[in-house]
Amino acid sequence: MKITEVRACQPATPGSPPDWRTSLGQILVAVETDAGLTGYGVGGGGAAGIHVVRTVLRDLLLGRDPSAVERIWEEMYRATLPFGRKGIALMALSGVDLALWDLRGKAANEPVARLLGGEVGQPIPTYATVWGSIEPAITAGHRAVKLHLEKYDPRTNLNALVDYVADARRQIGDEGMLMVDAFMKWDVDSTLDVAARLVEHDVAWLEEPLLPDDLPGYADLADRCPIPIAGGEHEFTAAAFEEIIKQRLHAVLQPDVCWCGGLTELIKIYRMAAVAGLRVCPHRGAEIWSLHAIAALDSQPLAESGRSWMSWVGGQPPIIDGWVQLSEAPGLGVIVDEDSCK
C-alpha cells in the first residue's frame, strides 16, 4: 500500500468561539492510498497548519508505505524542526499522524484501541468542562465537572471565585468529582492563595495556573500546593513531557492528541507516565482522537467533554449519562463529510 495523496482543509464550524480557536482552528487531514483506503485525522493551526501539510508534509509522504507510522513521525518532525518543535507545525503534524493511525487500523480491519492492546465497548467515565452554570452538565448526567475560572482574578476577586466553586460543590454533591482550570492566568502566590481556600471543597486538581514554560514555578507548586496540579494541554511532543514527568511538575498530565504530535506522541507520554506513577487525562479526551488511547492505555480512564462546534466529525460516540464507549468500527472510527470543506 502506497500513499497517493495528502489533503488538508478547514471545515466551517458554526458556533465556534470568535477567537484563535476558529481563525487557527482544527483542520482536517486526509491521507489517500492506492488500496482505496483513506485515513482521517484532525490537527490544528487553521490556514497556517494547512500550508505546512501541503508544502512540507505532503511531499514527504507521497509514494510512502503508510504502515511505518513511527518512522514517518520522526521524518515529519525533522522536516519541520527549523520552524517547528512547538505550536502550529506540531499541530499540523498531529493531524497527519492521526490519519496514518486511522489507516493502520483500517488496513488491519480493527479499531485502533485493539491495536494498542485494549478493547472497545467498555463504558469510559467522562467529565464536563463548563464556563458558567453547571446545571446543563448535571442534567446531562455528568458526575464530574471542571470549572473554568479565567474570569476570576484571585488577586482582586478571590471571594467570588471561592463562592463559585463552593456553589458547584453543593450542586454536584459530596460524591461528585470537581476540578478547576485557571487557563495560565495566575502566579505562584495567587495559586497558593486559591488552593488554601479550595481545599475544603475537595477539588481533585487545579489546572494550568501558570504559563507552560514556568517550570520553576510549577516545581514550587509541586512542593507546596495542597491541591494536585494538572497541565500540559499547551505542551508539545513527548520530549517536552519527559522533563515535566522527570521533575514531577504535574500530578495529572493533559496532552492534546490533536496538538502535541498525534497518537504516536500520546502513546509515549502514557508509557512514561505509567513508569513514573503519574496520571494522564488527555485534553478533550472524549473526542474520538484520544479515546482509543484512553481505552487501551489508561488505568484510571476519564475523558473530558469535547467541542460542541466540531459537528463535521462523524462517528463520534455520544456521551450518555456521563459515559462514552468506542464501537467496533475499524481505525479511529471517524466518518468525515468532506463536503464541509467545499
3-state DSSP call for residue 47?
A: helix
Per the DSSP assignment, residues forming a β-bridge with 6 are: 31
Any idea which residue has 478571590 for its cell?
A: 158
The H or E element containing residue 31 is strand 27-33
Q: Are 8 and 53 in contact (CB under 8 A)?
A: yes
Buried b (16+ CB within 10 A) or exposed e, 242-281: eebbeeebbbbbbbbbbbbbbbbbbbbbbebbeeeebbbb
Classify residue 79 as exposed, middle or buried by CB count within 10 Å of its CB (0-12, 13-18, 19+).
middle
Alpha helices in 231-320 (DSSP H): 237-247, 263-276, 288-297
Whether 142 is catalytic is no
Q: Are 174 and 204 in contact (CB under 8 A)?
A: no
> Which among 142, 234, 250, 283 is annotated as catalytic?
283
Q: Are 127 and 230 in contact (CB under 8 A)?
A: no
3-state DSSP call for residue 329?
A: coil
Residue numbers annotated as active site: 283
